[in-house]
Amino acid sequence: MSPIEILAAFFGFVSVWLTIRQHIGCWPTGIIQVILYISIFFEARLYSDMLLQVFYVFLLAYGWYTWVNGKTSSGELPVTVLPVLKRFFWIQITLIGTLILGYIMKTNTRADFAYLDAWQTVMSLIAQYLMSFKILESWLLWIAVDILSVGIYYVKGLYPTTLLYGMFLIMAFMGFFAWQKAFREASLSSPLPAATTPDKRE
């Protein structure tokens, strides 16, 4: 247990709490968290997780930009849902990405839990990307990621991080229900189409 890990866990908790509330402050606090975790995961030899944090810096910056500039005439960026076909698309991307990244880490590094770590990494990237557009299903991916993360980090002895992801799991359920409520309320007041991210981004 290190002071850096405790500090990273604190910023991670604050970031998720602000995300549930759809507060723009979730993005800068999230960036601080992932920068701290780059060094933590390097020391733990969780290289897929370390690589994930690097990508997170860019995704969080992108999400920050999207939330600021994606507002509608009636207010903030609305919560939306994915069409069925796009759900299948992201499932396929998850499977393919996990197999590729897991194989690379298994054969070229000393990474522990190569395929599980890769699965966690790919799902996290997709969840973070979808969250940039306030897509409800991003919380379901975070729930799966948090369950897996609790097990991996406990085995690796990263106890503050294990506790953090246990709280993340609870908060992911809270976030899902909060965003689901916001989506339903928006749909009742003004029916919204399902989320459609630009094809060029997929």
| Residues 22-31: tens digit of each pLDDT | 999 999 999 9
Report the pLDDT averaged over residues 7-17: 89
- Report the percentage of the chain scoring pLDDT > 90: 46
pLDDT at 193 over 70: no
pLDDT at 1 over 70: no
What the block records as the tokens of 57 is 């810096």
pLDDT at 90 over 90: yes
Q: How far apart are CA 169 and CA 181, in angstroms?
A: 19
pLDDT band at 105 (very low <50, low <70, confident <90, very high): confident
Own/partner long-range contacts of 160-168 (Cβ < 8 Å, ≥24 apart): 160/1, 160/5, 160/6, 160/9, 161/5, 161/8, 161/9, 161/40, 163/9, 164/9, 164/12, 164/13, 167/13, 167/16, 168/12, 168/13, 168/16, 168/142
CA Rg value for the chain = 17
Report the pLDDT averaged over residues 170-195: 81
Higher-confidence residue of 132 and 43: namely: 132
What the block records as the tokens of 24 is 């723009």
pLDDT of residue 190: 61
pLDDT band at 201 (very low <50, low <70, confident <90, very high): very low
Q: Residue 54 sits in which domain range?
A: 3-201
pLDDT of residue 44: 78
Per the structure, the count of domains in the chain is 1
Report the pLDDT averaged over residues 169-192: 85
Report the pLDDT averaged over residues 134-162: 90
pLDDT of residue 200: 44
pLDDT band at 78 (very low <50, low <70, confident <90, very high): confident
Give the phi and the psi of residue 150 in degrees, each rounded to 5. Answer: -55, -45
What is the value of pTM for the model shown?
A: 0.80
Report the pLDDT averaged over residues 123-148: 93
Q: Which of 49-53, 86-90, 151-155 has the lowest mean pLDDT?
A: 49-53
Q: What mean pLDDT value characterizes the chain? A: 85
